[in-house]
Amino acid sequence: MDQLLGAHVFVEGGVDSAISKADEFGFTAIQIFTRNNNRWVSKALSEKEISSFKEKRKSSQIKVIVSHDSYLINLCAQNPEILEKSRKAFIDELERCEQLEIPYLNFHPGAHGGQGEDEGIKMIAESLNLAHEQTKNFKVKSMLEATAGQGTAIGYTFEHLKKIIDLVEEKDRMCVCIDTAHIFAAGYNIKDPKTYDAVIKDFDSIVGLELLKCIHMNDSKKELGSKVDRHDHIGKGFIGLEGFTNIMNDKRLDGVAKILETPKGKEQLEDLENVKTLLGLIK
């Protein structure tokens, strides 16, 4: 498979279990959680777990690994206690990535909770600056994910992403992830080939395609501009096969990791189906 393509893979037991499963599925790009995504505190990774992860990865066909941070983390939380916990947990996430030699930590910018978008954007950048300062010389990059704009979520325009990056001091620690379901719900029409091209050009001129390292490949259960974040199987939602045909045949996106976050059972057999569908769209 030439494409950097795969899915979010579940960890069962040690983080290395995800590598085994991804390899079995033939994925070349994957995403994992390196800690329980619904808890504030997680047990440290053991030396054994880390070395097994690295060993397995070396002999696998996986080319890109992304870590997704915990859903609890909000880098612009209004509540000081939650903000403090979020910043701590984010640093822990970066440390885990560094230990595992994972190049990208994907995270949702945050929800401002009523304090306003400008204030939220400033706070997110401040959180990132603090985190980068405490993880000096780390190789892992903080990967900002575009959002659907549900509730008070920041990150539903390319301008939001750009504003955050502009306020981050160590710019080379930053990169970006587009989630197809999110940006479609945010109002970016990637389904129609005519508007699709304009969306990519827009992203390039505002953020820069060189910063795009990952695309979350999700169809959307909700309409264009709905601002509601609900992932669907490829071709089953409002983006449809048309939208994913645009992406799979876009040469500008060849080097970008494409990772599914579509609904699935424990065995993840649905991921195999969705990968097959995506590969079938290549002309």
Binding site for Mn ion (CB under 5 A): 179, 216, 229, 261
Cα–Cα–Cα angle for 172, 174, 179, rounded to 5 degrees:
150
- The window from 50-58, 138-146, 160-168, 249-257 that contacts Zn ion (CB under 5 A) reads 138-146
d(CA 42, CA 208): 35
d(CA 94, CA 141): 8
- By beta-carbon proximity to Zn ion, the closer residue of 145 and 219 is 145
Among Zn ion, Mn ion, none, residue 233 binds (CB under 5-8 Å by kind): none
- Enter the DSSP assignment of 44: P
- By beta-carbon proximity to Mn ion, the closer residue of 219 and 261 is 261
- The window from 58-66, 137-145, 154-162, 274-282 that contacts Zn ion (CB under 5 A) reads 137-145
List % helix, strand, coil for the chain (3-state, nearest 5): 40, 15, 40
Considering only residues 140 through 199, tell me which ones interact with Zn ion, judged by CB under 5 A. 145
- By beta-carbon proximity to Zn ion, the closer residue of 92 and 145 is 145
What's the number of CA atoms in the CB half-sphere (13 Å) around residue 41?
0
CB 173 within 8 A of CB 64: no
Among Mn ion, Zn ion, none, residue 229 binds (CB under 5-8 Å by kind): Mn ion
- By beta-carbon proximity to Mn ion, the closer residue of 16 and 179 is 179
**Number of residues counted as binding Zn ion (CB under 5 A):** 1
Which residues contribute to the site for Zn ion (CB under 5 A)? 145
